[in-house]
């Protein structure tokens, strides 16, 4: 309850009183509805007896019922309006005040208005509440599993830190579960069953950790949790968690063993209250270090241990690397098999790190996912690529560019919005720009992202289904999605060079794609056998080290590009 000297104490009292009212049982709510109706009717009667209101104000008597419907809902509002109408009926007045017209028309209309007004107000309020709840759920749940996402997890931490029930020195455990073999399992059982597996694992973790635990999902293969029950020692926690994670998860009668690297960070409420986001980054960094050291479980305790971590958070490392120009864009030419010239430049990101050395996107993608920086990093890639595009376009270089935007197999509407803005600002022809999205991302695309993608296609942007052939989708399924080309997976091409059945399947896939009007692209062409095979089956565009390695923007072979 707000303090008496708080300038917002009355508003706080109203809000808390309403919250308390909604928790009452149905009988008590109905009782208060009757009391409200009688109270409003009595006020109106007093106004009538004392001479009434001027005509310009007489309709203000409906406002209390309107707000009652908004706050209390349609049922209680309708009840209050109906009882209020009965209390104001001609039957409740003296005989000499009764007129036939009043009984026949006026009172019935007034009764109808008094009943409908709060009912409609209550229905509107319920609809708004549902929309707000849906929006909040969409922003605070992980797509697919609908577990709390990073934003919801940080919010939960802040609530725990701000809880006035304890003190700042109360301890809190932050859990980080990194499932290292989840991608392989997903290839076996598909996305839907994998999401079911993650939900089931989250339920088991919550049951094991205790009722005070909150479990969320921050990336495709990472679960996080927080618990205020810190009575167990780290040895007891390690034993329980290892026992649970070593137990197979059963999905539709089939058992799956999980390979997890688990980190537990024990800190206090004071740290969470002051810097929740930083604590989450430290917990993720701690779990990452455990995985790098091949540990299945790692426990870190007390504030001094947190502050002794010498490495900066990954977010800071990423920002510093960009500022130092350690992360650069390269461009790998793609050969047009019909003309023999390079026709497209595909964006490739490389990171030269002082500790880890040269890293490809596959190397640092898990780090970006763990730090929940995928969308931010992808937007940076888009903007950086368009800086080069502007230079080439200004100097009249003929160029087509292709950029992969689903590092975490999710098509982010925010990234598509950045692409649209950069296309508008740069005046670069949309038909010369391609977006590569993974097959997995296409099969689970959100309605909003699909709508954005279709708008980009409508202005000429090409959409390519990358890593095609790795999942369970088919050409028929992709035909209904917004794509213009398929990019065959390296594994699919590699197997086709040594297996006649795989070769026939690849040939069939290329023919079917072409019959559907989809261009076929092959990557990973690193030897002559693959090059000859892909030309033989009619693949239209080829890319790989045997043709050209990724080049810096200053070394692009413009003479060979058409």
Gap between the Cα atoms of 196 and 186, Å rounded? 11
Q: What's the gap between Cα 196 and its chain centre?
A: 17
CATH 3.20.20.450 in the chain: give the residue spans.
Answer: 315-560
Above 70 in pLDDT, residue 132?
no
Section 522-532 average pLDDT: 88
**In this structure, what DSSP letter does residue 470 have?**
S
CATH 3.30.70.270 in the chain: give the residue spans.
Answer: 150-311
User: So what's the pLDDT on residue 303?
Assistant: 47
Q: In this structure, are strands 357-359 and 342-353 parallel, antiparallel, or unpaired? A: antiparallel
Gap between the Cα atoms of 10 and 512, Å rounded? 69
Residue labelled with tokens 């376009």: 393
CATH class of the 315-560 domain in this structure: alpha beta
Question: At 7, which helix (H) or strand (E)?
Answer: none
For 148, residues 6+ apart whose C-beta sits below 8 A from its C-beta are: 140, 141, 142, 156, 214, 215, 216, 217
CA distances from 422 to 343, 385, 405 (A): 22, 10, 14
Report the predicted TM-score, pTM, of the whole model to 2 decimal places: 0.49
Question: At 484, which helix (H) or strand (E)?
Answer: none
Tell me the two tokens of residue 408.
Answer: 């975490």
Report long-range pairs for 183-187 (Cβ below 8 Å, ≥24 apart): 183/220, 183/221, 185/256, 185/258, 187/470, 187/471
The tally of CA atoms less than 13 A away on the side-chain side of residue 338 is 8
Other C-beta atoms within 10 Å of 78: how many? 24
Q: Where is mean pLDDT largest: 89-103, 198-212, 262-276, 382-396?
A: 382-396
What single string gives the DSSP state of each residue in 202-223? HHHHHHHH-TT-EEEEEETTEE
Gap between the Cα atoms of 383 and 364, Å rounded? 19
First and final CA of the chain: distance in angstroms? Answer: 72
Residues 286 and 173: beta-carbon distance below 8 Å? no
The percent helix, strand, coil of the chain (3-state, each to 5) is: 55, 15, 25
The CATH architecture to which 150-311 belongs is 2-Layer Sandwich (3.30)
The torsion region of residue 51 among left (phi > 0), alpha (psi -120 to 50) and beta comes to left
User: So what's the pLDDT on residue 115?
Assistant: 78
Section 101-124 average pLDDT: 70
Tell me the two tokens of residue 368.
Answer: 């970006």
Residue labelled with tokens 């309006």: 81
Residues 307 and 279: beta-carbon distance below 8 Å? no
Gap between the Cα atoms of 469 and 512, Å rounded? 13
Q: What's the gap between Cα 169 and its chain centre?
A: 33
Other C-beta atoms within 10 Å of 297: how many? 17
Tell me the pLDDT tens digit for each residue of 398-434: 789 999 998 888 888 889 999 999 999 888 999 999 9
For 337, residues 6+ apart whose C-beta sits below 8 A from its C-beta are: 534, 535, 538, 539, 540, 541, 542
Decide which of 188 and 345 is more confident: 345
The alpha-carbon radius of gyration of the chain (Å, integer) is 32
Tell me the pLDDT tens digit for each residue of 350-394: 888 777 778 877 777 776 765 567 888 888 899 999 999 998 988
User: So what's the pLDDT on residue 227?
Assistant: 86
Q: Where is mean pLDDT largest: 6-10, 44-48, 378-382?
A: 378-382
Gap between the Cα atoms of 358 and 350, Å rounded? 7
User: DSSP 3-state assignment of 464?
Assistant: strand
């Amino acid at each position: 309850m707000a303090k008496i000297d708080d300038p917002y104490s009355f508003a706080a009292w109203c809000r808390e009183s309403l919250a308390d009212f909604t928790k009452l049982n149905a009988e008590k709510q109905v009782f208060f509805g009757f009391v409200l109706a009688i109270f409003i009717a009595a006020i109106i009667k007093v106004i009538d007896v004392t001479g009434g209101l001027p005509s310009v104000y007489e309709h203000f008597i409906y406002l209390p019922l309107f707000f009652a419907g908004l706050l209390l809902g349609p049922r209680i509002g309708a009840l209050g309006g109906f009882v209020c109408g009965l209390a104001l009926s001609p039957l409740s007045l003296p005989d000499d005040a009764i007129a036939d017209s009043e009984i026949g028309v006026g009172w019935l209309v007034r009764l109808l208005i008094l009943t409908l007004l709060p009912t409609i107000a209550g229905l509107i309020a319920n609809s708004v509440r549902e929309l707000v709840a849906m929006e909040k759920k969409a922003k605070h749940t992980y797509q697919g599993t609908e577990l709390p996402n990073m934003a919801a997890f940080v919010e939960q931490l802040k609530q725990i830190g701000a809880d006035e029930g304890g003190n700042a020195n109360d301890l809190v455990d932050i859990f980080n579960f990194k499932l290292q073999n989840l991608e392989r399992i997903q290839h076996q059982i598909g996305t839907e069953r994998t999401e079911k597996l993650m939900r089931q694992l989250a339920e088991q973790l919550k049951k094991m950790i205790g009722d005070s635990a909150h479990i969320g999902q921050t990336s495709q293969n990472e679960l996080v949790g927080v618990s205020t029950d810190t009575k167990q020692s780290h040895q007891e926690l390690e034993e329980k968690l290892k026992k649970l994670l070593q137990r197979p998860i059963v999905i539709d009668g089939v058992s799956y063993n999980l390979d997890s690297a688990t980190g537990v960070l024990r800190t206090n409420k004071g740290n969470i209250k002051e810097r929740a986001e930083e604590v989450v980054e430290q917990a993720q960094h701690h779990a990452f270090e455990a995985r790098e050291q091949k540990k299945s479980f790692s426990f870190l305790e007390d504030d001094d241990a947190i502050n002794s971590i010498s490495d900066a958070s990954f977010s800071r490392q990423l920002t510093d690397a960009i500022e130092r120009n350690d992360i650069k864009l390269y461009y790998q030419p793609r050969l047009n098999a019909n003309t023999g010239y390079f026709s497209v430049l595909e964006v490739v990101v490389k990171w030269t790190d002082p500790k880890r050395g040269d890293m490809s996107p596959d190397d640092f993608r898990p780090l970006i996912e763990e730090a929940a920086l995928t969308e931010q990093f992808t937007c940076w890639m888009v903007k950086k690529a368009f800086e080069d595009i502007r230079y080439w376009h200004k100097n009249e270089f003929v160029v087509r560019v292709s950029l992969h935007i689903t590092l975490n197999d999710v098509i982010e509407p925010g990234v598509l919005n950045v692409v649209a803005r950069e296309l508008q600002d740069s005046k670069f022809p949309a038909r010369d720009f391609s977006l590569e999205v993974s097959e997995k991302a296409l099969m689970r695309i959100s309605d909003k992202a699909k709508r954005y993608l279709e708008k980009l296609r409508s202005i000429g942007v090409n959409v390519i289904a990358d890593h095609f052939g790795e999942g369970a989708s088919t050409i028929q399924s992709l035909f209904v999605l917004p794509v213009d080309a398929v990019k065959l997976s390296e594994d699919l091409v590699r197997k086709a060079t040594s297996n006649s059945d795989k070769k026939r399947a690849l040939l069939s896939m290329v023919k079917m794609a072409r019959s559907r009007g989809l261009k076929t692209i092959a990557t990973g062409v690193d030897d002559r056998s693959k090059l000859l095979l892909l030309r033989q089956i009619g693949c239209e565009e080829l890319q790989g080290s045997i043709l050209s390695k990724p080049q810096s923007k200053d070394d692009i072979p413009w003479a060979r590009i058409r």
